[in-house]
Amino acid sequence: MTATLARGHLLRGVGRAPTLEEHVRVFGQAARLDVADVERAGLRGRGGAAFPTAAKLAVVAATSQPVVVANGAEGEPLSKKDRSLLRVAPHLVLDGALLAADVVGAVEVVIAVARPAPELEAAIGERTLRRTTVRVARVPDRFVAGEETALLRALGGGPAKPTTKPPYPFERGLSGRPTLVQNVETLAHLALVARGAFGSTALVTLSGAVARPGVHEIPLGITLADAVGELTADPAGYLVGGYFGRFVAPQEARTLQLTPDVLGAGAIAVLPASTCPVAEVARVVTYLAGESAGQCGPCTHGLPALAGALDPSRRGDHRGEARTFAALVAGRGACRHPDGAARFAESALDVFADDFARHAKHRGCGRRDEGVLP
């Protein structure tokens, strides 16, 4: 994994987790940070929602006795960037979490991970913390566990399932206290902003028909084609933003600029023309249906119905049905899980329109499911 990490801004001087001394040598000491600095940097969240970080900091700073939760749960199967970052730059994430705690007036930081994070634990052990406590907490390794209210519920000892908003985490979060939830990459960028840099890069996880799979740091605003680099096969389409993202047609790759809202959680997969996109898409929607928390009716019933309408083994034309179900589930859950699945399916129906038409007519396309999307 670390071998594939490009040398960029966040990942400067990496190769393995640096000691605190090495970290300071490479990045320098973290200066103080205020909300205005973050606003000037234009930093947006890197967990998927691309929410302006400064606005979130300002809201939590106005509350009393807040908590900071660093979200490193990364339930997205196509993404590895957060766990890679925690492995190779844990001190940068820690700097960011402590700076954020300072900005909002918190003395408690919880870093949530879904897998063991020994490098992070070691990095915390190297720190001398006077006022603030930092601890690592494990949450279930499930898709929906990274959703902020599900994460907070899991950290509080409950099931990793979303809750109805309001109340929002900044109102009532961990242990009922106002909570700042930030993705770990966002916090690492905060650490750079505090050193005078701007949040102008992003971590992406490349997979599928790419010559350089794995985690890379890219400058924001470059095109999709430039971000993925050399391909190993003819592309049928690009999935940008993971399973909550959307498919992009190959002819769009040269013009689509990667901004935080397009990137989502930063996972990009290139589907080669050799695999059956209908089967790949149906399999992922079936997975997403299974990952529903099962709390909201439209998601619990609608996602299996959507998966059924996309099922390539079914006779007949179910494209209209799929579009109807996708439109029906969007916006009707407590969280954005159904919206993400709907966007994924709808964009697949657009980009792979010819393939879906062939399946509707001939019940197949002669290609097999290569399992490019895990």
Partner 1 sequence: MRAKSSLKVDPIACDGHGICAELFPERISLDPWGFPLVEDPVIPPALERAARRAVAECPTCALKLVRAR
* Tokens of residue 338, six digits: 């159904």
Nearer to partner 1, 163 or 179 (CB): 163
Answer for the pair 303, 333: CB distance below 8 angstroms, yes or no.
no
| Consecutive H or E run containing 109 | strand 108-113
Radius of gyration, CA atoms only, the chain = 21
Q: DSSP letters of 220-242?
A: TT-BHHHHH-SBSS-EEEEEESG
* Residue type at position 142: R
Please give the Cα distance from 152 to 173 (Å, whole number).
Answer: 6
What is d(CA 102, CA 303) in angstroms, rounded to the nearest whole number?
A: 42
CA 106 to chain CA centroid, nearest Å:
25
> Quick one: 276 or 329, whose CB is closer to partner 1?
329
Place of tokens 């950290």: 155
Nearer to partner 1, 138 or 301 (CB): 301
Q: How far is the CB of 301 from partner 1 (least distance, A)?
A: 4
Binding interface with partner 1 (CB under 8 A): 162-164, 295-299, 301-302, 305, 328, 332-334
Q: Which is nearer to partner 1, 111 or 345 (CB)?
A: 345
- State the maximum Cα–Cα separation within the chain, in Å, rounded to a whole number: 68
Closest distance of CB 170 from partner 1, Å: 19
CB-nearer residue toward partner 1: 163 or 201: 163
22 or 321: CB nearest partner 1: 321
Dist. CA 223–CA 245, nearest whole Å: 16
In the complex, least distance from residue 178 CB atom to partner 1, rounded to whole angstroms: 22
Cβ at position 137, least distance to partner 1 in Å: 24
Q: How far is the CB of 242 from partner 1 (least distance, A)?
A: 23
Q: Which is nearer to partner 1, 240 or 293 (CB)?
A: 293
Q: Count CB-CB contacts under 10 A for residue 306.
A: 29
Q: Are β-strands 235-240 and 246-248 bridged in parallel, bridged antiparallel, or unpaired?
A: antiparallel
Amino acid letter at 77? P
Min. distance of Cβ 156 from partner 1 in angstroms? Answer: 16
Q: Shortest distance, CB of residue 325 to partner 1, whole angstroms?
A: 8
